[in-house]
Amino acid sequence: MFLALIGIILFIFSFRIPAQLSRTIDPAKIKSGLRLGALLLIVLGMLGSCVKQIDAGYIGIQSLFGKIQERTLVSGLNIINPLIDVKQLDVRTQNYTMSGVHDEGDRTGDDAIRVLTKDGLEVTIDLSILYRVSAGSAPKMIREIGIDYKDKIVRPMSRTKIRDNAVYYDAIELYSTKRDDFQQKIFKGLESEFLKRGLILENLLVRNITLPQAVKLTIESKISAEQEAQKMQFVLQKEKQEAERKRVEAQGIADYQRIIGEGLSDKQLRYEQIKAYKELAASENSKIIIMPANNSVILDAK
C-alpha cells in the first residue's frame, strides 16, 4: 500500500510540472515518464496489498474501516481486499502462570493466589493454565473483548473460580486427599466460561499449595506420631513372635523330658552310666576312674 501511495503522489505531481523546463528537455516526455512510473507503483502497491501472508500457528483478523470481518485468514498466502487491515492472532497453546516464585509467572513478583478454606485458614496456591484461542470464535472475541484477553478473561476468571471452590474444602484436604477433586472442579467451571468467550481450556494445573506455618507443624507432628505408632506396633508384634517362639521351645523341651522320663527304666539308666564311664576310661587324659557299685569303689589307673 505504501508503493501505491507514492505512485499517487507522483501521478499528481506530474500535472504540476511547468510547460517549459529547459531547451534540451521536453516537458511532455517527463510528464509521460512520471505518469507511467506512478501507474506502475500504484499497480505494484495494490497487488502487494492484495496478498497477505499469515504465519504458522496464527490466523488473520480482517478489519475494514474499523469493522471486524467474520471471515478469518488461515496460515499461508491469502488474497484480500487491499483496503482491509489484517492483524495476526496466535491460536497455539498458551500458558498463563500465577506463582509465588519471583519471575516464574507472567507477572513479576509474588503473583500466587491467596484463598480462604472451609476451616477459615489462608492457603497460597500456584496455578498454571493451558489454553488457546478458538479460531472460529476469534472475530467475535476481538470485537467484544479485544486483544488483551489475558488480563480481561484468563487472569480474573481463574482467580475467581479458585476462590469460589476453595471454601468447600479444609486446608489439609486441599493439601492431601482432595487436591485432584479441587482441581477438576476449577477446570469444569473455567472450561464453560472460557468457551462462552472464544477460548478453549486445555488443562489446569494446581502446581503448589502452601499451608500456614501452624498447620504445617500440626501435620508434621501428626505424621511423626503416626510413624512412631507404627514403629511401636512393629516392636510389639516382634516381641509377641519372640514370646511365642520361646513358648513353643519350652513346650518342646518339656515334652522331650516327659517322653524320656516315661521311656527310661533303672536298668536303662545303669546301662547309659556304664557306657559313659567306659568312654571316660578310654580317654588319654583319664588317670583314675571311680565307679560306685553296691557300696564298692573300683579304681582303674592308666
**Max Cα separation, the chain?**
174
In one-letter notation, the amino acid at residue 300 is D
* Residue 293: all three cell numbers together: 557299685
User: Which phi and psi (to 5°) does residue 194 adopt?
Assistant: -65, -45
Pick 46 or 232 by higher pLDDT: 232
Domain membership of residue 51 as a residue range? 2-89
Residue 273 counted as domain residue: no
Alpha-carbon distance of 272 to 262, in angstroms, equals: 16
Check residue 149 and give its pLDDT. Answer: 92
Residue 295 counted as domain residue: no
User: For residue 252, what pLDDT band results from cuts at 50, 70 and 90?
Assistant: confident
Check residue 46 and give its pLDDT. Answer: 66
588319654: which residue's cell?
A: 284
Asked if residues 141 and 199 have their Cβ atoms less than 8 Å apart, the reply is: yes
Alpha-carbon distance of 132 to 194, in angstroms, equals: 10
Residue 297 has pLDDT above 50, yes or no: no
- Close Cβ partners of 54 (under 8 Å, ≥ 6 residues apart): 60, 73, 74, 75, 76, 78, 86, 88
Residue 23 has pLDDT above 80, yes or no: no
- Domain shared by 258 and 190, yes or no: no
Average pLDDT, the chain: 80
Residue 300 counted as domain residue: no
Residue 235 counted as domain residue: yes
SS3 state at 193: helix
* Residue 227: all three cell numbers together: 510413624
| HEC string for 253-291 | HHHHHHHHHHHCCHHHHHHHHHHHHHHHHHCCCCCEEEC
Query: Averaged over 69-77, what is the pLDDT?
Result: 89
Residue 293 has pLDDT above 90, yes or no: no
Strand-pairing partners, residue 69, are none
Residue 156 counted as domain residue: yes
Query: Averaged over 176-200, what is the pLDDT?
Result: 91
User: For residue 245, what pLDDT band results from cuts at 50, 70 and 90?
Assistant: confident
- In what helix (H) or strand (E) does residue 80 lie, and over which residues does it extend? none
Residue 160 counted as domain residue: yes
> What is the bridge-based pairing of β-strands 288-290 and 85-90?
unpaired
Query: Averaged over 64-85, what is the pLDDT?
Result: 86
| Residue at which a domain ends, from 178, 195, 211 | 211
Check residue 298 and give its pLDDT. Answer: 47
- Close Cβ partners of 188 (under 8 Å, ≥ 6 residues apart): none
* 136-159: burial string, b at 16+ Cβ within 10 Å, e else: ebbbebbeeeeeebeeebbbebbb
Total structural domains in the chain?
Answer: 3
User: For residue 3, what pLDDT band results from cuts at 50, 70 and 90?
Assistant: low
Among 157, 210, 163, which residue's Cα sits nearest to residue 182? 163
| Residue at which a domain ends, from 55, 89, 123 | 89
Encode pLDDT of 78-136 as tens digits: 888 878 888 999 999 999 999 888 777 778 778 888 998 888 888 899 999 999 999 99
- Domain shared by 102 and 207, yes or no: yes
- Domain shared by 66 and 147, yes or no: no
Among 186, 84, 177, which residue's Cα sits nearest to residue 125? 186
In one-letter notation, the amino acid at residue 235 is V
Residue 154 counted as domain residue: yes
- Domain shared by 73 and 8, yes or no: yes
| Residue at which a domain ends, from 211, 243, 276 | 211
CATH of the domain at 143: 3.30.479.30
Check residue 272 and give its pLDDT. Answer: 72
Q: How far apart are the first and last CA of the chain?
A: 135
Residue 148 counted as domain residue: yes
Q: How many residues does the chain have?
A: 302
Asked if residues 173 and 209 have their Cβ atoms less than 8 Å apart, the reply is: no
Alpha-carbon distance of 277 to 280, in angstroms, equals: 5
- Domain shared by 102 and 206, yes or no: yes
